[in-house]
Structure 1
């Protein structure tokens, strides 16, 4: 079974669905490569207007990196190779010249929240929870999530989400400004997402591209890229710590 489902609507939406329900839609190298290729295709295809990322099923949007695969990474160098690969993909997602949406059909934790933060908009079902829980694993955000969060949210809201390192209800995350629209859990989430996107889809692709290009210029600087990848390197340092090793071991034994 493919780890990713890809669809394109006639109205210009590309739906990228992580299809690993047995792993709560955790990201592995197959998902990384598929996302990288999808970003490239969306960037180059003038008929695509919006990219929507979501997860299969109703339980999880994305549970971050697949620790059952990444637990083999022990040294700073090994960790940085994986972290910088996904970080570069999220940087491409952040700066893509098309509007992007993270459609949170279920919970999002850790790297799943970093993935969602890279998108322009976050729509979420009521009743779900999401959180930057990296601190509970003895590490920090490792895919550029904190750098993006401080760009997109008020300082105290962003810092609070990172320091608490816990799951919060989507309603509270909406108040913080991280979630932009709440969708009733009784509604069909993809249809509701499509309704929210209708005003954007009514515009031409060149108009959407022009506005998005204007928006992301501030992130296409050496200063921003430097901060982005310095964050990733810091996570790699913490990755080889005893605290992280023990936290991962406890997580895998519990799973």
Structure 2
């Protein structure tokens, strides 16, 4: 049900990258689907959230309405609504509540400072990383007088480099803005592939995060369909919809 970054673990901060196992959803959503906007039964999705709340002992898990933006919502008091608003990241210092990100090929990126005063979760596909959402997240810490060198990051499962076929036009777009991104692309048997994980790491390093402070749960969501939901795989299978994995972080 849960995957963890051993390097990111601590007694004061809980984090988890959820697999798709251990829930109640059926069919293409089997079984631990958190897609509140998906075509799955709302009752099943609610039950899945309750399963996680019970496992983690969290009363609430807050989300945002994600839209591949670079917007981080700063959250400093509890809210009656589960969805805090439109955005692709949450930054907080509130204890005993979870903040979460939903993914299905994009990466969930979790942040905390070394003194464990603040936490942040970010939804980052190529669009978010391209728009500098990771830099925006780091800026939230800097506004609290926390230097990038004192921020720890855990990068969750995402679409793998061998599964992410892209166009030459896409490569040109990326490299035009980020000149150091050439190594994020590889040609294989006449096809061009993109390493999203490496691209995200590069954006983190460019924003001041040291490579030793970045840890990984390195899994390919496309190839491990029994563990993860994959938007791209659902397209290739011509399915009507797809589930979403939840990644969470909380202060104990």
Structure ranking higher on relative contact order (CA contacts 8 Å, 6+ apart): 2
Query: Do they superpose with TM above 0.5?
Result: no
Question: What TM-score do you get using the length of structure 1 for normalisation?
Answer: 0.30
- Counting helix residues as a fraction of each chain, which structure ranks higher? 1
- Counting strand residues as a fraction of each chain, which structure ranks higher? 2
